[in-house]
Amino acid sequence: MTASQPSDRAVRTALRQSRDRSWEGDAPMSLEEVAAGVHHCRRCDLWRDATQGVPGEGPDRARLMIVGEQPGDQEDQAGRPFVGPAGQLFDRAAAQAGLPRERVWVTNAVKHFKHELRGKRRIHQTPNAGEVTACRWWLDAERRLIRPRVVLALGATAATAVFGKATPIGANRGRALQLPDQSQGLVTWHPSFLLRVPDERARDKAFGELVEDLRLAWKLAG
């Protein structure tokens, strides 16, 4: 399911939510409404410099949800998650793990691309705690509607969004942690972290751990 072209009704609902800020009493009733809401969201200021919001995509009853940090430059332009260099590395790791991407829901903790301009280049910036908290409303809506058995957080920002607190990757990867909705949560390295590791041996080790964690997540999702 890819909600890239929401219906007029979903857009009207999203505009009302954006205008009225009725976040507690007007929760999205469908993934289509989530997608429309992400595009029109004004809960923080990241929308001002982004091309568009980037909602999650995948089957609407996916057993496994993968949560990244935020859209990158290519995701911001395409309006789809996990299509840039980190997404391509994720696809390679998923293939080695036997995890079919088309059967999982992929999304981000923050739905707009946070960056700074350096000349003509847009350089990634890590979302702050306020931005993660503001956008968690959409992530929680995705989880409530999809009801995945397992949620795998890629990187520290996603882990904070999923667990509601700092959850160090090195100390917690490789084991399932119970979430309040009774689903199981896992954490692992974000593929973009691997792209920045300068030492080849350390990079290969981290990639192998990412593959292991993807394999475990898919096994637990059953």
Helix axis angle for 31-40 and 129-146, nearest 10°, is 160
Tokens of 30: 């469908």
Weakest mean pLDDT among 23-37, 54-68, 89-103: 23-37
Instruction: Please compute the mean of the pLDDT values over residues 106-111 and round it to a whole number.
Output: 98
CA 221 from centroid of its chain's CA atoms? 18
- Say which residues have a Cβ less than 8 Å from residue 180's Cβ, sequence separation at least 6: none
What structural domains and CATH numbers belong to the chain? 58-221 (3.40.470.10)
What is the biggest distance separating any 2 CA atoms in the chain, rounded to whole angstroms?
Answer: 52
Position 27 scores a pLDDT of 81
Q: Give the tens place of pLDDT for each residue, 142-190.
A: 999 999 999 999 999 999 999 999 999 999 999 999 999 999 999 999 9
Reduced to 3 states (helix: H, G, I; strand: E, B; else coil), residue 6 is: coil
Position 115 scores a pLDDT of 93
Question: Band of the pLDDT at 116, cuts 50, 70, 90?
Answer: very high
What's the rounded Cα separation, in Å, for the pair 171 and 155? Answer: 12
What's the rounded Cα separation, in Å, for the pair 80 and 191? Answer: 17
Question: Band of the pLDDT at 77, cuts 50, 70, 90?
Answer: very high
Q: What is the mean pLDDT of the chain?
A: 91
Q: Are 194 and 207 in contact (CB under 8 A)?
A: yes
Instruction: Please compute the mean of the pLDDT values over residues 197-214 and round it to a whole number.
Output: 96
Instruction: Please compute the mean of the pLDDT values over residues 125-149 and round it to a whole number.
Output: 95
Residue type, 123: I
Instruction: Inform me whether the pLDDT recorded for 8 exceeds 90.
Output: no
Instruction: Inform me whether the pLDDT recorded for 20 exceeds 60.
Output: no
Instruction: Inform me whether the pLDDT recorded for 22 exceeds 80.
Output: no
Instruction: Inform me whether the pLDDT recorded for 122 exceeds 60.
Output: yes
